Amino acid sequence: MKKSLLSIALTSLLATTTVVSTQASATGIEGLSANIGAVSQYIFRGIEQTSTASASAGLDYELGNFSVGTWAADVEDGLEIDFYGSYGNELDNGFGYSLGFTTYQYTGDFDTQYNEINLGASYKFLSIAYSIGTWEVEAGDDQDYDFLSITAEYEGFYATYGTWGDEFDGDYIELGFGTEIASFDVGVAVIANSKELNGGQADESLVFSIGKSF
C-alpha cells in the first residue's frame, strides 16, 4: 500500500505535508502534472512490498488548495493502483495543514484493498502525518489500523519515525537524502524496521530512488 511522488525518496515523502499550488506543467494543462520513477526496493511505512526494483507512474491535478491524483506501482504480483484527494493550506505564520483520503487497490493476488483518511501538519523543518484506515480482508473480518509518522528535514537530509497502531503493530526509522540532478529527483535511504513489520525479525534496507515530474 502506497501513494507518493518520487520527489526525494519514494518511501519518505508520504509523511511530509505539502501545500498545493496551481501552476502550468509540461503536460500543457494548468494544474495537471505527471510523474514517473523507480526504486531499488519498494518499502512503504517500513513494510517490504517488493524484494526487487519497482517502477511507478502517476498523475496529479491541483486546483487552488485542492488536489486529486492517481499513482500505480509494480508489486511483482500485479499492480498497486492508488486514488487520492486532499485539501492543504499554509498560514501566514508558516504552519501548514492537510486533510485527505487515499484508497489502495491491487491487481493480481498481492493484496486486497485499504482505505484511509489522512491528516497532516507541518511547521518549518518538522511534519507530522496521521492516517486512520481499514484493511478489507478477503474471506475474513476487516482490520482497522492507524499510522503516525514524524519527519524532520534539512537541506535534502531527512529522518522519519513511523509507528503502526490499533490492529496493526510495529515501527521503523528511516534516514535519507534527496536532491535534483539533471532535472531528475534522486535519493537514497536507510530503513530499519521492527520485527513486527518484517516477519518476526528486525531488518535494515538500503533503498535508492530516481524520479521525474512533468
The model's pLDDT over 47-97, given as tens digits with 9 standing for 90+, comes to: 999 999 999 999 999 999 999 999 999 999 999 999 999 999 999 999 999
This prediction has a pTM of: 0.87
What domains can be seen in the chain, in order of their start residue? 13-213 (2.40.160.40)
Q: Mean pLDDT, to the nearest integer, of 98-123?
A: 96
CA contacts within 13 A on the Cβ side of 7: 16
